[in-house]
Amino acid sequence: MTKLSVNINKVATLRNARGGDVPNLIQVAKDLERFGAEGITVHPRPDERHIKYQDTRDLAKIVTTEFNIEGNPNQKFIDLVLETKPAQVTLVPDAVDAITSNAGWDTIKHIDFLKDVIASFKNAGIRTSIFVDPVASMIEGAKNTGTDRIELYTEAYAQGYAHNKEEAIKPYIESALIANDLGLGINAGHDLSLENITYFKNSIPRLLEVSIGHALISEALYFGFEKVIYGYLEKLKE
């Protein structure tokens, strides 16, 4: 079964909009796990506009499933990950002013940097994943960095799904087959939703984990967290 990790950045955004501590991020994480989520993901950015660095420290103490911290590995981020020691760190090359992640790594251009960062995390016993576009050369380059997994950037799939899902999924299937041959684990995330996740999951061989935030939180406004978590788990079953 493909695991579901819930990105709670948008919960922090809602909290920060009013100040104070409502909704309480710790309680939300606990409830999501109680409802069946198999992981909690956070993406702290340098300006702390949603997840704050202290949130990450606090969550690391209470998450009982799988804690995944994603972000651009500047020194502050690296120090935070090494301090909190999550189950997984996902490296994302987002610019400081990016609204959201919008591209995968150039794993060839940045191979030396990625190798060094990944080695430091793996030496600390933290599983590593690299955010990549569904491009063969980038998958092959990821293998050379020493990463454990890749996370396929799925925005293009989500945008193409309504028009021609067969064409939209093709590069992801090809990338997954390459990753499988290279011994890389496969995660996926960005704009996956209740509408498009079944076809994606059924098409991608050995999909280990999906990280879903914006769509899930939006859907939960209509259906409630518990029903949304149950819906994803049912769709991800073998």
Catalytic residue selected from 33, 66, 151, 190:
190
- Distance, CA of 122 to CA of 107 (rounded, Å): 18
Q: Has 50 been annotated as catalytic?
A: no
Please say if 214 is a catalytic residue. no
Q: Spell out the long-range contacts of 173-178 with Cβ–Cβ below 8 A and sequence spacing 24 or more.
A: 173/203, 173/204, 173/205, 174/134, 174/136, 175/132, 175/134, 175/135, 175/136, 175/139, 175/150, 176/152, 176/204, 176/205, 176/206, 176/207, 177/205, 178/136, 178/139, 178/140
Q: Which of 70, 151, 209, 219 is catalytic?
A: 70
Helix, coil or strand: residue 17: helix
On whether the CB atoms of residues 196 and 175 are closer than 8 A, the answer is: no
User: Side chain identity at 179, as an amino acid letter?
Assistant: A
- Residues annotated as catalytic are 43, 70, 190
